[in-house]
Chain A
Amino acid sequence: MRKLLSLALVAVMLVLLVPAMAGAMTIGVVYKQTGNPFFEAAVKGFQEAADDLGFTLVHNGPADSSNEGQIQIIEGFIQQGVDAIAVSSNDAAGVVPVLQSAMEQGIHVLSWDSAVNPEGRELNVDASVAENIGRVEVKEIAEQIGYEGQIAILSASSTHDNQNTWIGWMQEELKEPEYANMELVTIAYGDDLTDKSYQEMQGLIDSYPDLKGVISPTTVGIAAAANCIQDNGLTGVIKLTGLGLPSEMAEYIKDGVCEGMYLWNPIDLGLCAGYAAYNLVEGFEPVPGATFEAGRLGTITILADANGNPFTIVGDPFRFTAENIDDWKDVY
């Protein structure tokens, strides 16, 4: 039924497109950094939505993951006359004025993956509920280390809002009684740089000889940590989990350095955000409780966060293990 609907939609779009190309809807997607495989996969999702619904997709990200670079790109999209902009921001507050300027000119704005402050967007599409992401990683590492021992967190940058949110939930989870025998010794910051993350991990190994587990909720960090653990011959002695890219972590998972890690499907994330953007342009009001169709993902409901701001999620984090990693390592 849904497929028929989208087919009909596409047909109508095509009919409208043939005489007047100028009427085509264009949606601009901005991500944190260009050339990043996670975002390349997300773009695949957006493209899928674009193909389903018949809008034109333009996308770009700064080469240096800077806020200023993103502002330039957004201004470029405004200049090209896009109908909606979907942003995964490097700086939640720094990108607000330009997005407000866009909204004043009638462009719809939503954020995805890395949220923008509420005053700069109409809707936020999260991959999963932040709370779930934080809690599930603590549960995973606890199970791996047998619910006792020292653990550490290897994060990205202390300026990343989503990192701090997840870490906050991890610390909340650790307050639960079943983790009484576990201790979070420190949080290290690898700044999403491979060499710095490696050095920080080495520092953890050298500073905390009783370290049993590491959570690294950043794809660069978890890969560097896995590399470091293996280089030190501590596979299986220090357990590892976090958020990782299947293609990057495939070898380490197979070697047993990491028994289980999480990530969500960026393709689905892009697809959902693409549909959301399209619907916003079509007049959809993102109030809590409202729903919209997202192709093969089904019906998506708008939720409200602690401050009443509308957001939605795609699903739950997906667990990668040695059994299923081969299915995913060539996907993203």
Chain B
Amino acid sequence: MKTLRRVFFRWEWLVIGLTVLVYLFFQAKLGDSYTVLKLLDQTRVYVVDIGFMAIGTMMVLILGDIDISVGSTAALSTTVMGVAYNAGEGVPFWAAIALALLTGILCGLVNGLLVVKFKELFPMIITLSTLTIYRGIAYIILKDGSAGGFPGWFSKTLGYGRVLGGVPVMLLCLLAVMPLFYVLLHHTVFGRRLFATGTNITTARYSGIRTDRIKVVVFTINGLLAAVGGVMLLSRTGSVKYNIANGYEMQAIAVAVLSGASTSGGKGSVVGVLLSLILLTCLKNGLMIAYNDSFILNLAIGVLLIGMVLFPNIYQALRQRRQVKQQQLLSLHS
């Protein structure tokens, strides 16, 4: 247990250290445009919507599964919201949001049930097909049109609103939700069971944990979070087309991996997600302004993604080799 915690803390310090480096680098290079206040504001753009999805994705990763349909779930949820709000007399706004969340829950539920009923299939394949199907349904509903016209405050306050002299409202929403998940994951029985299922599913099942039920619940929560992320995104774009949130699933996975979650299961932390979101904001924003080139930005993210996992591994391997050599020397002498 202690060694596990040591690994954890090392990862998070790595992320923090990188963040500081990145910040200092771009601060020196860009000066006025790149301040903590401005970065705070930019979190709206880079990390809030992804952040919600990343929390859900991280939970799925803890299970040892994967869900690449979150972008499409967000698309379908926001489509339902937009169409419901604009249909005929239109449903009240709160009902529209509720419908969006409900859609997200349904999508996640379907994913979870499919994963559990068809255990032979890797969740990647199942969510690969639901990815296409959910977005396809969104396309059938909206076709080539868009749905918008939401009440002014939706964009003004949520999408672009700031309080306390610069903290975006969106960010506060995310920060309000995070402690809930922290408690859920680390201080409840459910969380314990979740980690157990991810670490070793057979052992968990033999311990009496209903792994199937846990999986379905986690996928459903993931769907709900994807819908929330979609609503956040919608508040910034003001209208929804069927191709909204395209590619967001990969970004969510990237954030989840950077947070320390392992795709083989059993690892993950909400704090890690928060830290990697901060790192990504600083990095993406700095790159965007310094180079004005989207491909370079993606390239840097790719290097970061691989590097963050590769270098600790190399370090570990070298250390192990040194330890083995030491032991060999010791055994020779004794």
Contact = CB atoms under 8 A, between A and B. Distances in A.
Interface in A67-123: 67-69, 71-73, 75-76, 79-81, 91, 93-98, 100-101
B293 interface: yes
Interface string B4-24: 000000000000000000000
Contacts of A96: 238-239
Contacts of A159: 144-146, 241-243
A34 B148 contact: no
A59 B294 CA distance: 11
A96 B38 CA distance: 21
Interface string B233-246: 10011111111111
B144 A93 contact: no
B236 A58 contact: no
Contacts of B247: 64, 66
A91 B293 CA distance: 20
A180 interface: no
Interface size class on chain A is 20 to 34
A91 B38 CA distance: 26
A292 to B, nearest CB: 27
Contact of A94 (B33, B238, B292): B238
Interface in B290-316: 292-295, 298
B42 interface: yes
B293 A60 contact: yes
Nearest to B239: A93
A157 interface: yes
Interface centre among A58, A59, A63, A100 (most CB of B within 10 A): A63
B238 A93 contact: yes
B244 A73 contact: no
Nearest to B233: A68
B297 to A, nearest CB: 8
Interface in A222-259: none
B101 to A, nearest CB: 21
Interface string A211-228: 000000000000000000
Contacts of A35: 295
Contacts of B148: 93
B155 interface: yes
A62 interface: yes
Interface string B131-143: 0000000000001
A104 to B, nearest CB: 9
Contacts of A71: 45, 236-237
Contacts of B246: 64, 66, 68
B238 A63 contact: no
B45 A63 contact: no
A165 interface: no
A158 interface: yes
A63 B243 CA distance: 15
A62 B246 CA distance: 13
Interface in B106-163: 143-146, 148, 155, 159-160
Given A35-B295, A71-B45, A95 B237 contact: yes
Interface in B30-47: 32-34, 38, 41-42, 44-46
Given A59-B292, A79-B289, A94-B244, 16 more contacts: A34-B295, A60-B288, A60-B293, A63-B294, A63-B295, A66-B243, A68-B246, A76-B285, A76-B289, A94-B238, A94-B240, A95-B237, A98-B236, A158-B144, A159-B242, A164-B144
6 contacts: A35-B295, A67-B237, A69-B294, A75-B42, A97-B159, A159-B144
Interface of B: 32-34, 38, 41-42, 44-46, 143-146, 148, 155, 159-160, 233, 236-247, 285, 288-289, 292-295, 298
